Structure 1
Amino acid sequence: MESFFKDGDKNKTQGCKSEDFTQPGSTDTTVQLVISLALGISAFFAFCALRPRWKALYEARKRRVDPVVKLPQLPDTFFGWIPALYRVTEQQLLASAGLDAFVFLAFFKMAIKLFGTMFFFAAVVLEPINLHFIDNDNDGRTSKSYIASVFRIPSSGVVSPWATMEDDSPPDKSFDSDMGYLWSYLVFTYFFSILTMYFMDKETRRVIRVRQDYLGTQMTLTDRTFQLSGIPKDLRTEEKIKELVERLEIGKVESVTLCRNWKDLDDLVDQRSQLLHMLEETWTVYLGQKPAQPILASSSRDRAPEIGVGDEEAGESGPLLTAPGTRQLVERKRPQTRVWYGFLGWQSRVTDALDYYEEKLRRLDEKIHAARKRTYEPADLAFVTMDSIAACQMAIQALIDPRPGQLLTKPAPAPSDVVWRNTYEPRVKRNARGWVITAFVGVLTIVWLIPVAFLASFLSICTIRRFFPGIADSLSRHDVTRALVQTGLPTGVVSLLNVAVPYLYDFLSYYQGRVSRGDVALSSISKVFFFTFFNFFLVFTVFGTASEIFAVVKESFRDLGTIASTMAGKIQNLSVFYLNFIMLQSLGLFPFRLLEFGSVALYPIYRMGAKTPRDYAEMVEPPIFNYALYLPTALLVFILCLVYSVLPGGYLVLLLGLCFFTLGYFTYKYQLLYAMDQPQHATGGAWRIICYRIMLGLFVFQIVMSGVLGLRFAYFEAAAVLPLLIATFWYAYNFRERFEPLTRFISLRSIKRGEDPGGNAIEDEDFGGEGERERERLRRGSTVDEDREKGLRFVNPSLVISLERPWIYEEPPPPEGEDEDGIADYRPGGSNRNGARSSDALGRQQSPADSTASSESLGDTHIWRDNWESNP
């Protein structure tokens, strides 16, 4: 891709190469640092100021955690919350946030230790070697600034793998008078690779010990249940499945939930939810009208719903001459709606909206009651609950049927984690959907090359000069404005794409046919990382721009070393770009994540759209912590730190990487414990994804270093990297055989029985030497999963869900059935003052205290709303 323009400074025609499109200059690092610090410090101080005032937002999760967990209350002082957060132990993290949060933060702790060690050796040993030989190579040839000399950036801002030369051609062998320093590259490639595998191996063993002990000590319904798929048609009854499993002589079956084709029932429940929302909005609009005139009327059944919220509070302030037994009512204009009917819905009439929606809701409830009594066609999937965890694990880890694809077992998701619509789809259809969406993601990744390449080329001085030479000359005259265009905009756009794309891939993963939300989360992480790694690493490094992809691929068929040499050269070209990217992510954006800028910015919009009390209650629910939004970017930064660790100036990348994972650890620790919720239950399965992506980063790091040595004509040193590649491949295979099963299953020795209370796999050092008392507290106390699963059972919520009544007053309504006067009615009927028990979405009984908690949540909304309106 060549474009030519008139260079105003040199007054000659110069080519605008692909490297120029995403390549910043030496001054850009300073500008990016100022921008990042300005964004980060302002957001951090805003968070410190707003945190004690908006607790409904910044402590949304803490207010719903079981008091037994004893999660520390953070001080309301400006900086006092930081040391208090630091002192929160990993036991408290496990007890409050669960195993997935522990595994996620364990990755950040491991990265802090690893890059702290690598930074020391890179700064103390490698950097003096690089500076000495770079200074010798750069005499009279290269740039003026230190950053430029470190990354071989010439004063013109155009970078090539051999920017010390007058052109981009590789040097001859006489370029370096001493090639001995390249042995240090080889030595540190081995050292940093082995160091990474050591830290990963050590942390993996710790994660496995904690996971085995955590899951082995709890007694949840999920731990005793396995998922059985591929059930033949002649076995699709609860009795036959129970008989089949018990004949295996592995234990006694407590219950069997055979999934059935509940699609009609699920559709009716979804329709009811939409209709209930419409009815609540209509009531809210009606009661919010200004009364036309007050009237006196007797209490009647038909007019009861017209009593306003404030009428009951009239009390002593009402008219003294009101006759006993009467209520003071107000005259309001009842809302109307247009109903379409007849042939093809061409006829219509206007009717009372309240009566219409109430009658429609009543008829829909009758259909749901009738649908719950029907018998549905059984599916090929069931959830089997055993009498012990050991029996369940034996069923999971064994082959039950000799025929391929039949009676397959795997760990069951938590009841609240099941995607019930996917349970009754045939296994063949689920697999087909999975392959179709996987293929679509692959095609979508290629399609993403177009906007990514466009942004990479458009946001550059070269492209601007081609179309707007006057603007380009004006920008080029000032380093700051040029840096804003050349560096600030590309890194900002890349960061925005990293935020927006996960939502699309999460949507695709949900419709891929996964049975649990935990599997959906893990699948989404894999997809987003593939997008991030392919589009923002390979495209920028190996291919440069989209137009060069086919040329590089074609050349690689002729010479297998083309990709390695191309990657090695352009990795050095883009060193400052990736340095600025990590700088923006760590110093600039982490404080914004802590601030929950999206929730704060969107609150006025949600506030304007909220009408019903249910809308207000949903506004104060803790935001969902989406691992796919955060983990792929962290993995990309991890790989970038590995790749640049040995190269000149690598200590700067490692330093920023250390800042990234340190700030990320505290940011995500706060959000997981206090601010955000994570309903998915993947039992730490993300650790497998983390480890395999780290191994991918090791492969890339070793290939790049081999290419760098090859470009320096150090062919022996380049070839010496091959044994390290083989060793890394062997380690990956060994990890798959030895460690991966322990990240999926529970070992039988880890299961704690009553007669063996001391047989615990966890050691003191797993929790920083906190001692036996902390471990005993973890064992005796219930885990977050046990608390979450109390009263749950494997049943489709549509079969047992309470048919909620309209919620139009501040307090939630009584459950389905009789109202306060003992008369069955589908109208709102008032608040739940009689203390009746209701049921939640999974059929669990809900006490009046739970209703009070819901009312308190609504109160939180008013507090936050008042704070916002007084301090926007």
Structure 2
Amino acid sequence: MVLKFLRMGIVIFSIATLFMVPILIPINVIGQLKSEGLNLLTIGNVSDVPRTWAHVILAFFFTVGLIYYTFRETRAYLVLRREYLMSPEFAESVVARSLFVPSIPKDVHNIEDLARIFNRFPGGVRRIWINRDLKDLPDDVEDRDKKVHSLETAITKTILSTYKYNNKKGIQPENGSDTEVLIPQELRPTHRVSSLPIGLPFVGRKVDSIDYYHEEIQSLNKKILEKQHLATNYECLSSAFIEFNQQIAAHMAAQTLIHSKELQMAPRYIEIAPTDIIWENMNIQSFSRLLRRMFSLSFTTVIIIFWAIPVVFVQGISTLESLSKLLPFLEAVQDLGPTVVGIIQGILPAAALAILVALVPIIFSMLSKLEGIPRKSFVELSVLHKFFFFQFVDVVLVSTVAGGIFNVLPDLTKNPASIINLLAEKLPRASTFFITYVMLQATNSAAQNLLQLVPYILSFVMPIFNTTPRDIYHQKRQCPTVNLGTLIPTHSVIFVLGIEYSTIAPLILPFVLLFFCFHYFVLLYQFMHVYERPYETGGRGFPRAIRHVYIGMFTWQITMIGLFAVRGNKAIGQLVVMIILLVAGCFSLALYDKAFKPLFKFLPIQCMPSKDVQRIKENAVAAGDVHRLDTNDDDKRVLFQTTSNRSDTNSFGDGASVLSRDNLSIDAFRYRTTLHDELKKEAKISEEENDEEEVKVMTDTARRLYETESYLHPSVCRNQPTVWIPEDTMGIAKQELSQLKSLGIISSTHYANARPNDKGKPKVTIDEENVIMENKGIPGERPSAAQLSDVNDFVRVVIDNYNFIDALGTVA
């Protein structure tokens, strides 16, 4: 949808450039005022008012075209969105059927009551995850991960140091010798341990790093395992994830009024991928979320207002001649020559403004997360709006007004009564700044995006610091990500500038077209070959970008109204037409919201597959409803059945009932333990009998385990990361593996080696073909239940892992 928005810009501004540039520029120039520089090409150069009818007529067609095209592209987007939501890969995933419910009252905050409430929807409830306060378990898991990485680093560096030491001494050790003999004492890594949050030199007791991390990881494994066993005993948070048997049920439950008390069990979210969850925001009440949002918006407003000060200063530089009349000491700058002054006035302000703008998204991201938004993707969408309005106010409005004011200030000091005529004449002069700004964004921004200079430099620098197999794996496996919250506003603000100055300074149109053409082809390549998204928004940023287009259209229409208003009675007709266009634009946006807004969020019942409709009918018949069911009333009948009637109905897609089925199958925390026990038994039978049918049974159980772990906090499911060290010819890694195994620490040397190169310098390498190209990953570590595409890898690792029981992790 980002590419579709760029294509939309290409089409609109291609047509605008084709008609407006050859028509308006001659009208603005020939036989009119003799303004300086590029201002000669703007509407401010027109003294013959009847000529402005050309601007009005083109404004009419441009407004109609914008409205038509936004409606047309939105309909196309909704078709794509429905195809995505109903695609087999997504529709059959746990994400498609799941609902996040916050602010759950204590009186219904249990498995039985939640199942009874949500079982009223078609197909009923399959699984419930009640979020819990895990206290320090996530911190312990994070601490263990760090210590595993530290141990890997210590062992790998020891192996490399020993290679160098033996090569220098001419020692040729035999493989399999005792570790203490192989590693000289002076090469064993050490570090200091203290209670301070930051390690300081010569502070704390000195310990042997390898032995220390052995003890720490062993202790943390026991502590974490005990806490993971007790996960169901932790205090419940005020939120839960509900998985339904049918996708349409999640959409219906998200739209239905659930609780009688205000701000309870709302707002609900659907289609949250596990990788998209912000776990810290799982216990925020709706009222608290409202207060947080008010604070966030207030602080955002303050930032936007006060950031205008440096923006005004930057814009003042672009009108150096006018500014120097107010500040005489700046006259010396004009003596530097036309080339230097041209650079200062043209390129420097645009570059400075780009730097100022780049600092803001970090603050907006923190504020959006503080609001209590439970999804990372929605934090991006929140930043998208904030960042756009920041650019719209500080880049478009403030820069426009500042440019005009600086141009007219010297004359205003002489004749204050001439403000109306001066603004009408000189306000369009601010377009010169935006032409250079758009040109800079079109060329420099696109080139930087394509070049990826920083990642390119880091690709040479990071291998120097990446010594362990895990470091090398992450460097080669992970792709850059792109933040839609900052990417889309940079496009939509250029869209706004193109609309704003389309009839005022048409010279900007070719540069806007150039911007969209360059960025389209650059991002087409980047999305195909460079960028990777850890979660999917379903194109939810597109309608927000369309709203920005309407904001730009309103701003342009109001500006045109102002330009005609200051011309007095001479432009009454033009003024009336532009007011009519503004009213028509507002009506179009209201119609747009009324027609499309619900479709952006939810899947229509009309699109529900016929097999699901048949399943609802069968459930209603099984419930004793022998009346003929009309298709349009199926969901209403199921939705409004009473709890008592539902208690004996087959609400599940597989024919099971909430109350007749073991509650463990609904409570994801407890059901996960059951699945682990089943996998143990099936793995033992499969190992003894080598039965293909039993492998299929295990595969099915592993898939259910994947779904069951989807919305558990990662720390509950997180196994000890495999201590992945490179195999060496000296036997250090071999003996280290033996020691780690005796301590119950999972470790491996699979696909990693440490060997001297042709020059005798030792180097760590990994088998990229297996761990990256074939996506086997780090040995012994299964993918988390996160992305849709991980399910097959998850099942494969669980089934094929050599150390199967240990890989299951939390169940002894």
Q: When the two structures are superposed, what TM-score results if normalisation uses the length of structure 1?
A: 0.67
Q: Are positions 1:690 and 2:607 aligned together?
A: no
Matches within 5 A, 1:370-409: 370-374=226-230, 375-408=233-266, 409=268
Question: Residue 365 of structure 1 aligns with which residue?
Answer: 221
Q: CA deviation at 1:348?
A: 3.7
Task: Give the counterpart of 2:298 among 439, 447, 465.
Answer: 439
Task: Give the counterpart of 1:209 among 79, 83, 86.
Answer: 79
Question: Residue 831 of structure 1 aligns with which residue?
Answer: 750
Question: Residue 334 of structure 1 aligns with which residue?
Answer: 188
Task: Give the counterpart of 2:311 among 443, 447, 452.
Answer: 452
Match of 2:481, SS state, is coil
**1:118 and 1:234, CA in 2 relative to 1: closer, same or farther beyond 3 A?**
same
**1:120 and 1:517, CA in 2 relative to 1: closer, same or farther beyond 3 A?**
same
**1:637 and 1:452, CA in 2 relative to 1: closer, same or farther beyond 3 A?**
same
Q: Are positions 1:751 and 2:608 aligned together?
A: yes
Q: CA deviation at 1:828?
A: 5.1
CA deviation profile, 1:434-455 (whole Å, cap 9, x unmatched): 3323322222222322332343
**1:845 and 1:197, CA in 2 relative to 1: closer, same or farther beyond 3 A?**
closer
**1:421 and 1:281, CA in 2 relative to 1: closer, same or farther beyond 3 A?**
same
Q: Is the 8 A contact 2:191 2:207 kept in 1?
A: yes
Q: CA deviation at 1:592?
A: 1.9
Question: Residue 273 of structure 1 aligns with which residue?
Answer: 145
Cα distance in 2, alignment partners of residues 818 and 610 from structure 1: 22
For 2:223, the aligned partner's letter is K
Q: Is the 8 A contact 2:317 2:345 kept in 1?
A: no
Matches within 5 A, 1:151-170: 151=42
Matches within 5 A, 1:522-541: 522-541=381-400
For 1:722, the aligned partner's letter is I
Cα distance in 2, alignment partners of residues 502 and 508 from structure 1: 10
The structure with more helix, counted as a fraction of residues: 2
Q: Is the 8 A contact 1:250 1:391 kept in 2?
A: yes
**1:277 and 1:456, CA in 2 relative to 1: closer, same or farther beyond 3 A?**
farther
Cα distance in 2, alignment partners of residues 829 and 207 from structure 1: 48
Match of 2:194, SS state, is strand
Cα distance in 1, alignment partners of residues 329 and 153 from structure 2: 53
For 2:255, the aligned partner's letter is Q
Cα distance in 1, alignment partners of residues 102 and 795 from structure 2: 40
Q: Are positions 1:599 and 2:516 aligned together?
A: no
**1:451 and 1:724, CA in 2 relative to 1: closer, same or farther beyond 3 A?**
same
Match of 2:49, SS state, is coil
Match of 1:839, SS state, is coil
Cα distance in 2, alignment partners of residues 290 and 471 from structure 1: 66
**1:545 and 1:460, CA in 2 relative to 1: closer, same or farther beyond 3 A?**
closer
Question: Residue 184 of structure 1 aligns with which residue?
Answer: 54
For 2:528, the aligned partner's letter is L
Q: Are positions 1:805 and 2:726 aligned together?
A: no
Question: Residue 640 of structure 1 aligns with which residue?
Answer: 497
**1:594 and 1:810, CA in 2 relative to 1: closer, same or farther beyond 3 A?**
farther
Cα distance in 2, alignment partners of residues 612 and 464 from structure 1: 60
Q: Are positions 1:626 and 2:483 aligned together?
A: yes
Q: CA deviation at 1:242?
A: 0.7
Question: Residue 14 of structure 1 aligns with which residue?
Answer: none
Matches within 5 A, 1:456-475: 456-457=315-316, 461=320, 472-475=333-336
Q: CA deviation at 1:597?
A: 1.8
Task: Give the counterpart of 2:16 among 114, 118, 125.
Answer: 118
Question: Residue 860 of structure 1 aligns with which residue?
Answer: none
Cα distance in 2, alignment partners of residues 284 and 512 from structure 1: 43
Question: Residue 667 of structure 1 aligns with which residue?
Answer: 522
For 1:838, the aligned partner's letter is E
Q: Is the 8 A contact 1:838 1:847 kept in 2?
A: no
Cα distance in 1, alignment partners of residues 162 and 707 from structure 2: 46
Structure 1 range deviating more: 423-432 or 830-839: 830-839
Q: CA deviation at 1:570?
A: 5.9
Q: CA deviation at 1:293?
A: 5.8
For 2:60, the aligned partner's letter is Y
Task: Give the counterpart of 2:363 among 472, 491, 504.
Answer: 504
For 1:444, the aligned partner's letter is I
**1:693 and 1:221, CA in 2 relative to 1: closer, same or farther beyond 3 A?**
same
Q: Is the 8 A contact 1:565 1:707 kept in 2?
A: no
Task: Give the counterpart of 1:255 among 118, 127, 146.
Answer: 127
Match of 1:180, SS state, is helix
Ranges in structure 2 where 5+ consecutive residues have no aligned partner: 408-416, 615-702, 753-769, 771-775, 799-812
CA deviation profile, 1:340-362 (whole Å, cap 9, x unmatched): 369xx998422222222332222
Structure 1 range deviating more: 697-706 or 492-501: 492-501
Q: CA deviation at 1:610?
A: 3.4
Structure 1 range deviating more: 196-205 or 492-501: 492-501
Cα distance in 1, alignment partners of residues 56 and 164 from structure 2: 86
Cα distance in 2, alignment partners of residues 335 and 281 from structure 1: 10
CA deviation profile, 1:440-472 (whole Å, cap 9, x unmatched): 222222232233234344677467896876861
For 2:554, the aligned partner's letter is F
Q: Is the 8 A contact 1:358 1:827 kept in 2?
A: no
Question: Residue 222 of structure 1 aligns with which residue?
Answer: 95
Cα distance in 2, alignment partners of residues 292 and 609 from structure 1: 18
Question: Residue 375 of structure 2 aligns with which residue?
Answer: 516
For 1:192, the aligned partner's letter is F
**How many residues in Structure 1 have an aligned counterpart in Structure 2?**
649
For 2:749, the aligned partner's letter is G
CA deviation profile, 1:540-590 (whole Å, cap 9, x unmatched): 123459999xxxxxxxxxx9xx9x999866651211111111111112321
Cα distance in 1, alignment partners of residues 423 and 447 from structure 2: 33
For 1:746, the aligned partner's letter is L
Match of 1:736, SS state, is helix
Match of 1:519, SS state, is helix
Q: Is the 8 A contact 1:413 1:516 kept in 2?
A: yes
Cα distance in 1, alignment partners of residues 716 and 388 from structure 2: 38
Q: CA deviation at 1:417?
A: 1.3
Matches within 5 A, 1:557-636: 571-620=427-476, 621-636=478-493
For 1:413, the aligned partner's letter is I
**1:607 and 1:568, CA in 2 relative to 1: closer, same or farther beyond 3 A?**
farther
Q: CA deviation at 1:613?
A: 3.1
Q: Is the 8 A contact 1:565 1:710 kept in 2?
A: no
Q: CA deviation at 1:213?
A: 2.2
Q: Is the 8 A contact 1:838 1:845 kept in 2?
A: no
Cα distance in 2, alignment partners of residues 386 and 660 from structure 1: 45
Q: Is the 8 A contact 1:341 1:347 kept in 2?
A: no
Q: Is the 8 A contact 1:213 1:750 kept in 2?
A: no
Question: Residue 16 of structure 1 aligns with which residue?
Answer: none
For 1:240, the aligned partner's letter is D
How large is the RMSD of aligned CA atoms in angstroms? 3.9
CA deviation profile, 1:321-353 (whole Å, cap 9, x unmatched): x599778824242222223369xx998422222
Question: Residue 617 of structure 2 aligns with which residue?
Answer: none
Q: Is the 8 A contact 1:230 1:381 kept in 2?
A: yes
**1:349 and 1:397, CA in 2 relative to 1: closer, same or farther beyond 3 A?**
closer
For 1:472, the aligned partner's letter is V
Cα distance in 2, alignment partners of residues 358 and 417 from structure 1: 34
Cα distance in 2, alignment partners of residues 737 and 324 from structure 1: 75
Q: Is the 8 A contact 1:282 1:335 kept in 2?
A: yes
Q: CA deviation at 1:505?
A: 2.4
CA deviation profile, 1:745-787 (whole Å, cap 9, x unmatched): 1111223345999xxxxxxxxxxxxxxxxxxxxxxxxxxxx9x
**1:567 and 1:592, CA in 2 relative to 1: closer, same or farther beyond 3 A?**
farther
Match of 1:288, SS state, is helix
Q: CA deviation at 1:184?
A: 1.9
Q: Are positions 1:424 and 2:253 aligned together?
A: no
Structure 1 range deviating more: 208-217 or 700-709: 208-217
Question: Residue 288 of structure 1 aligns with which residue?
Answer: 160
For 1:125, the aligned partner's letter is I
For 2:720, the aligned partner's letter is L
